[in-house]
Chains A and B, each alone.
Chain A
Amino acid sequence: MSAIAIGLTGVTKSYGDKVVVDRLSFTVASGECFGLLGPNGVGKSTIARMVLGMASADAGNITVLGEPVPGRARLARMRIGVVPQFDNLDLEFTVRENLLVFGRYFGMSAHQIEAVTPSLLEFARLENKTNARVAELSGGMKRRLTIARALINDPQLLVMDEPTTGLDPHARHLIWERLRSLLARGKTILLTTHFMEEAERLCDRLCVLEQGRKIAEGRPHILIDEQIGCQVIEIYGGNPHEFGALIRPYAQRIDVSGETLFCYAPDPERVRGQPRGHTGLRFLQRPPNLEDVFLLLTGREMKD
């Protein structure tokens, strides 16, 4: 088996005049979780669709599980499980029927599907919902069923497009835990997300996208060390520009976003010692995270 699960080389995709994916290259090794990170509308879903052969690139090459895509995408999809951005379960069917119908799409017999259904439902923590109609399930349960459905063909690769968007924190943490157990079983995951926390927790490597271009790639903690490498102090209250000028000598970098001042400080104590004469300021000191990297690379100000 090839050690490369997904390879993109110089992939470009435009809709009309709008370039959605711009000369993008990356490789995903077998067994790793690779994240595509970026704001909504940056081309993440388009990339996922191209990997699945549901959209064709204008230029460049895509290889998935050793198959050229889209030419032989169907053969690649036999070994892929997909968790789409929007739930597309059959609402009028029961949980069990959803798995039955989906297994048939992969050419599985009813006998084969019934053999794997209990373990899939156990994995998705839906053992007690086997005969419940999908319309009766909560959002988190539907997502878990979608993941179980994506596993019916025992895929090597999972393509997950925003798997936890719209879920409450409990449901999200359960999904993350389930995805980690899939990685432990040796599955490869391509994950698109705009949740920095999700990417930081799950991804072995990730690629940060802006307007269809790759602006950074690497392991989350290495990206954070390289790009930030010091504590971050968020300062609220008061005039951020005025106070920013005061602490500038002690900061590696200062960003202002709305009424908040972000100070990247190699020596946080010296920054915290500065508010003489400034009352009502609140300080939050924390380790740097992927969100800081992302905002550093793309700018803190809201973009259209």
Chain B
Amino acid sequence: MWGRYAAALPANAWNWIAVWRRNYLAWRKVALASVLGNAAEPMSSLFGLGLGLGAMLGRVDGTSYVAFLAAGMVATSAMISATFETIHAAFARMHHQRTWEAVLCTQLTLGDILLGEAAWAASKAFLAGTAITIVAAILGYAAWPSILYALPAIALTGLTFASLAMVVAALSPSYDYFVFHQTLVLTPMLFLSGAVFPVTQLPDAFQQVGRFLPLAHSIDLIRPAMLGRPAGSVGLHIGIICMYAVLPFFLSAALFRRRLMR
């Protein structure tokens, strides 16, 4: 009985690396376009909103609006990058490209594939988030060297949203369903998590909802690091983000097992 479920779990701590390296090899061929494409959107939001709205808003949360927004855009870009890598690229590899099918014929398990894909999506998220962090730091909107503390938080954010998106990919019959994840989950989360304005602007009920969202906790880790402020409740934030990474991972493993290994 256990054997049936073992197939959906990682076989060991290193098998996933082969999946990660396969994706890295594919990415290397289109690296420049991929980086520019992934970083362009949050960059334009950061400077468009940050400078444009910032001129009207003045100081927000004790800093310039663009510096406030930078942490929100870093976390958001990690979220979006990991999500899209999973629901579009990984889904294609599972679905019509049949890449997963080929891998399942080797000594790798479904769990190894899922872990490799999640780690890969987290890597791309890390790259996107870090690129914006560096640009913000160069332009003086983020504090050096405390931004280094933001880097592990960016990677963890990527892993979490890859894991959540994996559940969506496991449940979706086709690409058409992914828009719901974007419109019903990610976009509201962006506004409830303090990415573009302080959550204190929201009615109390919405603030309470925000406390349960993974993006809010990533921003609570990334923003102080970027602004050079002390961060509070670091353990709690990390714990909640990890929970959102681990539980959906196992859920997606169970769902994909049912879908692919019938």
Contact = CB atoms under 8 A, between A and B. Distances in A.
Interface of A: 15, 52-56, 68, 70-75, 77-78, 80, 82, 84, 86-93, 97, 100-102, 104-107, 150, 153
B3 interface: yes
A97 B261 contact: no
Interface of B: 2-4, 6-7, 11, 15, 18-19, 21-22, 25-26, 29, 97-99, 101-109, 260-262
A71 B102 contact: no
Contacts of B3: 68, 70-73
Contacts of B107: 74-75, 77-78, 105-107
Contact of B101 (A73, A88, A92, A97): A88
Contacts of B2: 71
Given A53-B7, A90-B99, A105-B19, 18 more contacts: A54-B261, A55-B261, A71-B2, A74-B7, A74-B107, A74-B109, A77-B105, A77-B107, A84-B98, A84-B101, A88-B97, A88-B98, A88-B101, A88-B102, A89-B102, A97-B25, A105-B103, A105-B106
A52 B105 contact: yes
The 3 closest A-B pairs by CB, nearest first: A71-B3, A88-B98, A82-B105
A156 to B, nearest CB: 14
A101 B11 contact: no
Q: Determine the main DSSP class of A at the interface with B.
A: loop
Contacts of A107: 15, 18, 107
Contacts of A101: 18, 21-22, 25
A90 B26 contact: yes
B19 to A, nearest CB: 8
A54 B104 contact: yes
Contacts of B29: 92
B126 to A, nearest CB: 22
B103 A56 contact: no
Nearest to A100: B25
Nearest to A70: B3
Contacts of B4: 56, 70-71
A75 B107 CA distance: 7
B98 A104 contact: no
Contacts of B99: 88, 90
A77 B29 CA distance: 31
Contacts of B103: 105
Contacts of A74: 6-7, 11, 107-109
A80 B108 CA distance: 12
Contacts of B260: 54
B22 A56 contact: no
A41 B19 CA distance: 32
Given A56-B4, A56-B261, A72-B3, A84 B25 contact: no
- Most chain A beta-carbon neighbours within 10 Å: one of B4, B101, B106, B261: B106
